[in-house]
């Protein structure tokens, strides 16, 4: 018999097995995509615009059902079932009509928790997520970086330990982006989250992930996308500016070479 710890080490937190997806049932967008994310790992799926990344994200989130293949969450088949993994987009999608704390509490309230209970549960996280003092503000009163952190806290409070992120920070300005990415990797490690980041931005992929899957193809021209390679990123310990290291550049070169 295996212990829970050993089991976790064997079973990926999230895996897609041979996913083939289509928009209309005929036109195949991505074919036979197999990726997995180990518990506590941040992986990236990188590919050019229009290669079907968001289609994959929708399938992993259970919003669409694949033509073939399965989505497994800790080994459990969750294909076509939404609500099991959390999900965050480039747009923060904060509801303008709700205060930050109530936006952040939304998944709790939707699950049936009373508002004051949900607020009490969310409040302790504001400090860690760099949002202290903005609990009662409206979304329009926050900066882009803060809004994205609030969106991430909302994602976290969904209670799923696997998070899908679709170009989460690419709408932010360059400096904030670098800061928020580093912050995200730190918080994810601290909270033990597993994440799959989907992006067209090679820098975003290399700076956040420990492994990068490269997706290529031209679905619009009738050529479905495949995973054409996998790049491991090694992060030198204790290095503050990872973006300036040889390891970073090496990984970036490999990904760029695969993308062509």
User: What number of chain residues touch other proteins (CB under 8 A)?
Assistant: 26
In this chain, which of 87, 152, 213, 248 binds other proteins, going by CB under 8 A?
87
In this chain, which of 18, 80, 82, 186 binds other proteins, going by CB under 8 A?
82
Rounded to an integer, what distance in angstroms lies between the CA atom of residue 52 and that of residue 193? 25
Nearer to other proteins, 63 or 220 (CB): 63
Q: Does 241 bind other proteins (CB under 8 A)?
A: no
Interface region with other proteins, contact rule CB under 8 A, candidates 21-29, 82-90, 119-127, 236-244: 82-90
Nearest approach in angstroms of CB 246 to other proteins is: 38
Burial class (CB within 10 angstroms; exposed 0-12, middle 13-18, buried 19+) of 93: middle
Binding mask 157-176 for other proteins (x = CB under 8 A): -x------------------
Q: Does 86 bind other proteins (CB under 8 A)?
A: yes
Residue 57: C-alpha distances to residues 17, 54, 196, 199, 253 (Å): 14, 5, 9, 11, 25
User: Within 13 A of 109's CA, how many CA atoms are on the CB side?
Assistant: 14
Cβ contacts of residue 228 below 8 Å, gap of 6+?
A: 214, 215, 216, 258
Nearest approach in angstroms of CB 197 to other proteins is: 16
The backbone region for 25, taken as left when phi is positive above 0, alpha when psi lies in -120 to 50, beta otherwise, is left
Sole residue written with tokens 């959390």: 86
Residues at the site binding other proteins, with contacts judged by CB under 8 A: 58, 61-63, 82-83, 85-87, 89, 91, 93, 95-98, 106-107, 110-111, 137-141, 158
């Amino acid at each position: 018999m295996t212990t829970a710890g050993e089991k976790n080490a064997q079973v990926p937190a999230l895996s897609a097995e041979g996913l083939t997806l289509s928009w209309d049932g005929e036109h195949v967008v991505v074919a036979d995509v197999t990726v997995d994310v180990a518990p506590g790992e941040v992986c990236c799926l990188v590919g050019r615009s229009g290669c079907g990344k968001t289609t994959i994200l929708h399938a992993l989130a259970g919003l669409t059902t694949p033509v073939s293949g399965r989505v497994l969450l800790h080994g459990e088949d969750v294909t076509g079932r939404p609500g099991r993994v959390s999900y965050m987009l480039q747009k923060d999608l904060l509801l303008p009509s709700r205060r930050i704390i109530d936006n952040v509490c939304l998944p709790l309230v939707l699950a049936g928790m009373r508002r004051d209970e949900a607020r009490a549960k969310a409040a302790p996280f504001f400090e860690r997520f760099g949002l202290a003092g903005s609990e009662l503000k409206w979304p329009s009163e926050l900066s882009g970086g803060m809004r994205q952190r609030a969106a991430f806290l909302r994602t976290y409070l969904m209670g799923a330990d696997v998070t899908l992120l679709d170009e989460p920070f690419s709408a932010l300005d360059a400096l904030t982006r670098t800061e928020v990415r580093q912050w995200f990797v730190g918080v994810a490690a601290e909270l033990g989250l597993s994440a799959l980041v989907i992006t067209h931005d090679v820098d975003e992929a290399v700076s956040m992930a420990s492994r990068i899957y490269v997706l290529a193809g031209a679905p619009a021209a009738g050529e479905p996308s495949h995973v054409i390679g996998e790049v491991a990123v090694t992060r030198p310990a204790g290095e503050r500016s990872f973006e300036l290291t040889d390891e970073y550049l090496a990984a970036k070169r490999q990904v760029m070479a695969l993308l062509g």
